[in-house]
């Protein structure tokens, strides 16, 4: 099934409450007459009611997605954006609040919004055909759900290759109860950019990847792509012409102003499509405090690496001056660049930045260093069941999948509410994949392993994820490389009755 939402009969199937996927695949899972739980199921509404807290707030936001002429340091490209800005307008609310987003699609193509990292009600999860009909051009849709957990999250479309455009924004859930160990906080959004540069587009990039070796220099409009696919590393397939920090290219960097010696929480989000970023700040160490929104026991590091979809929060105490914050593209050329400037250093000219900083190669944070805080840790009870899935595919025909199958032909992972599952993801490919699960967070292995929703699976390695089945519905499990997802590297965690 294409993920770009070509829409036909499934429209009808979803509208009648019969999960389109469930129909085609009944009997492939547990083998008995298991009935998939869809968004219309009473258990989804019941779960939502258990999230409701008395006295919680209700936040209403109007949001529009539309075409946008994006000015990249004087070079204007035609792209798509939320609220005519890249990144889109940040949404902030408090844990327990209900969010109501009155969304209108002014694009010429259908879209949906996925609220990445939030364990919300299934019918608001924004996956076309799985949880809702795509929102057609000119149509409106109201997303309404309770936001259960604090943390650094974000939102983006879940249609085709649109995530490799300007459609992304931060969704910050503040914790009214959190002991504040910082004075101010700010979001740092990283993104790899090609849309509109020398005629490039996500669709042309995908077809070049698909046609195998197609990323050649003589291909019209691809002249800015240095390096052929075969010379790319196992960390990315596309050599992007630009990397953006808070929507700005290195030639026109954004500046984060902070109080000298004040403690600033940087909420770093990798909104890229095919790039891992290694982030460091010149002359400073970082205190890593949260992964994918959930707190860990603080770890001091000099650099952090984020896969696509991942978030890392760090606290920095800036010395007086102007300091480069640099996100180098792992295994590629180029970097996203910004500056941290203390308010007493307005007259100081920014240093010239040559790319990689010494800090990038000092203490690099690893998930293995992380322990969830006692309050955030998931139960350490033994899982009821273990399921292993293999990540498969390669560059030859650019087919990426799970267990050799692409999405639409996938075998769902069936689960019952209340179960505790250990999911082992084994990477049988030569490339790293950031695997993301919707609607849940999982615990990494180890005593109080970090709690996350997206995790990098290195080539030839396995990662095991423990999760509690506490959010009924149909949920995507997929690679957060936009091009791998489009190629089919996705399956489904499917609650059944
Ligand atoms: Cu941020 Cu299904 O993804
Ligand atoms: Cu992948």
CA-163 nearest atom, ligand 1? 1
State the ligand closest to the CA atom of 399: 2
Beta-bridge mates of residue 466: 422, 443
Q: Mean of the pLDDT values across residues 278-304?
A: 98
> What pLDDT is recorded for position 216?
32
Q: Give the pair of three-digit tokens for residue 356.
A: 């990689």
- Alpha-carbon distance values, 156 to 50, 150, 386 (Å): 26, 19, 31
Give residue 157's Cα distance to chain centre: 11
Q: How far is the CA of 13 from the centre of ligand 2 (A)?
A: 29
Whether the pLDDT of residue 13 is over 70: the answer is no
> What pLDDT is recorded for position 153?
98
pLDDT tens digit sequence for 151-185: 999 999 999 999 999 999 999 999 988 777 788 99
Q: What are phi and psi of 48, to 5 degrees?
A: -65, -40
CB 437 near ligand 1, within 6 Å: no
Q: How far is the CA of 234 from the centre of ligand 2 (A)?
A: 10
Confidence label for 233 from pLDDT (cuts 50, 70 and 90): low
Whether the pLDDT of residue 136 is over 50: the answer is yes
Q: Are 275 and 331 in contact (CB under 8 A)?
A: no
pLDDT tens digit sequence for 406-425: 999 999 999 999 999 999 99
Q: Coil, helix or strand for 72?
A: strand
Q: Mean of the pLDDT values across residues 374-387?
A: 91
**CA distance linking residue 318 with residue 126, whole number of Å:** 39
- The secondary element (H helix, E strand) that includes residue 263 is strand 263-270
**Which distant-in-sequence residues (6+ apart) come within 8 Å of 236 by Cβ?**
274, 275, 276, 329, 330, 331, 332
CB 438 near ligand 1, within 6 Å: yes
Of 325, 381, 375, 2, the residue nearest 160 (C-alpha): 2
Whether the pLDDT of residue 89 is over 70: the answer is yes
Q: Mean of the pLDDT values across residues 131-140?
A: 98
Q: How far is the CA of 194 from the centre of ligand 1 (A)?
A: 20
Residue showing tokens 């030859």: 396
Regarding beta strands 462-468 and 420-427, do their DSSP bridges make them parallel or antiparallel, or are they unpaired? antiparallel
**CA distance linking residue 253 with residue 135, whole number of Å:** 35
Q: Are 364 and 282 in contact (CB under 8 A)?
A: no
Compute the Cα dihedral for 112, 113, 117, 119 and give only its sign.
Answer: negative
Whether the pLDDT of residue 1 is over 60: the answer is no
Beta-bridge mates of residue 146: 98
> What pLDDT is recorded for position 24?
35
Least confident of 32-36, 85-89, 251-255, 308-312: 32-36
313-342 burial, b at 16+ Cβ within 10 Å, e below that, comes to bbbbbbeebbbbbbbbbbebebbbbbbbbb
Residue 260 is given by DSSP the state T
> What pLDDT is recorded for position 291?
98
Q: Give the pair of three-digit tokens for residue 237.
A: 């397939």
pLDDT tens digit sequence for 471-494: 999 999 999 999 999 999 999 999
Q: Coil, helix or strand for 274?
A: coil
Q: DSSP secondary structure string, 388-432?
A: EEEEEEETTTTEEEETTB-TTS---EEE-TT-EEEEEEEE-SSS-
**CA distance linking residue 415 with residue 471, whole number of Å:** 11
CB 476 near ligand 1, within 6 Å: yes
Least confident of 9-23, 148-162, 315-329, 464-478: 9-23
* Closest residue to atom 1 of ligand 1, CA basis: 116
Q: Give the pair of three-digit tokens for residue 428.
A: 């049988």
Q: Are 423 and 413 in contact (CB under 8 A)?
A: yes
> What pLDDT is recorded for position 311?
98
CA-438 nearest atom, ligand 1? 2
> What pLDDT is recorded for position 213?
53
Dihedral of the alpha carbons of 275, 280, 281, 283, in degrees to the nearest 10: -150
Q: Mean of the pLDDT values across residues 199-214?
A: 88
Residue 361 is given by DSSP the state G
Q: Average model confidence (pLDDT) for the chain?
A: 90
Beta-bridge mates of residue 443: 451, 466
Of 368, 361, 443, 181, the residue nearest 287 (C-alpha): 181
**pTM for this one?**
0.91
Q: Coil, helix or strand for 174?
A: strand
pLDDT tens digit sequence for 92-127: 999 999 999 999 999 999 999 999 999 999 999 999
> What pLDDT is recorded for position 32?
56
CB 484 near ligand 1, within 6 Å: no
Share of the chain above pLDDT 90, in %: 82
CB 157 near ligand 1, within 6 Å: no
**CA distance linking residue 315 with residue 287, whole number of Å:** 5
């Amino acid at each position: 099934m294409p993920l770009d939402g070509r829409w036909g009969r499934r429209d009808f199937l979803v509208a009648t409450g019969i999960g389109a996927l469930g129909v085609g695949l009944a009997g492939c899972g547990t083998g008995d007459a298991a009935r998939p739980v869809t968004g219309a199921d009473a258990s989804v509404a019941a779960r939502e009611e258990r999230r409701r807290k008395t006295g919680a707030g209700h936040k209403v936001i109007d949001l529009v997605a539309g075409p946008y002429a994006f000015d990249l340091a004087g070079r204007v490209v035609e792209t798509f954006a939320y609220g005519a800005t890249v990144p889109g307008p940040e949404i902030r609310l408090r844990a327990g609040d209900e969010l109501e987003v009155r969304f209108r699609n002014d694009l010429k193509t259908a879209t949906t919004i996925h609220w990445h990292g939030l364990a919300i009600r299934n019918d608001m999860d924004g996956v076309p055909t799985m949880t809702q009909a795509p929102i057609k051009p000119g149509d409106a849709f109201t997303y309404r759900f309770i936001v259960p957990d604090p943390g650094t999250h974000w939102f983006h479309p879940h249609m085709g290759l649109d995530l490799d455009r300007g459609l992304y924004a931060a969704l910050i859930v503040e914790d009214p109860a959190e002991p504040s160990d910082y004075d101010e906080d700010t979001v740092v959004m990283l993104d790899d950019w090609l849309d509109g540069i020398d005629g490039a587009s996500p669709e042309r990039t995908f077809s070049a990847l698909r046609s195998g070796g197609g990323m050649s220099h003589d291909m019209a409009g691809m002249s800015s792509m240095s390096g052929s696919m075969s010379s790319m590393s196992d960390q990315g397939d596309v050599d992007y012409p630009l990397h953006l920090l808070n929507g700005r290219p290195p030639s026109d960097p954004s500046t984060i102003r902070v109080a000298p010696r004040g403690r600033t929480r940087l909420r770093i989000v990798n909104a890229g499509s095919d790039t891992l970023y290694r982030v460091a700040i010149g002359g400073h160490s970082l205190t890593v405090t949260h992964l994918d929104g959930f707190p860990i026991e603080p770890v001091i590091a000099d650099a952090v690496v984020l896969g696509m979809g991942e978030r890392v929060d760090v606290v920095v105490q800036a010395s007086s001056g102007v300091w480069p914050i640099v996100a180098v593209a792992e295994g590629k050329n180029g970097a996203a660049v910004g500056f941290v400037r203390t308010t007493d250093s307005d007259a100081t000219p920014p240093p010239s930045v040559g790319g990689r900083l010494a800090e990038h190669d000092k203490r690099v944070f690893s998930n293995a260093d992380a322990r969830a805080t006692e309050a955030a840790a998931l139960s350490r009870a033994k899982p009821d069941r273990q399921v292993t899935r293999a990540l498969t595919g390669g560059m030859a025909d650019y087919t990426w999948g799970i267990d050799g199958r692409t999405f639409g032909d996938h075998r769902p992972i069936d689960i019952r509410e209340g179960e505790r599952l250990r999911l082992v993801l084994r990477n049988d490919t030569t490339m790293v994949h950031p695997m993301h699960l919707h609607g849940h967070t999982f615990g990494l292995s180890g005593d109080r392993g970090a709690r996350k929703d997206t995790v990098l699976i290195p080539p030839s390695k396995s990662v095991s994820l423990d999760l509690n089945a506490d959010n009924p519905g149909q949920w995507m499990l997929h690679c957060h490389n936009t091009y791998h997802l489009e190629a089919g590297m996705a399956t489904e965690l499917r609650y059944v009755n």
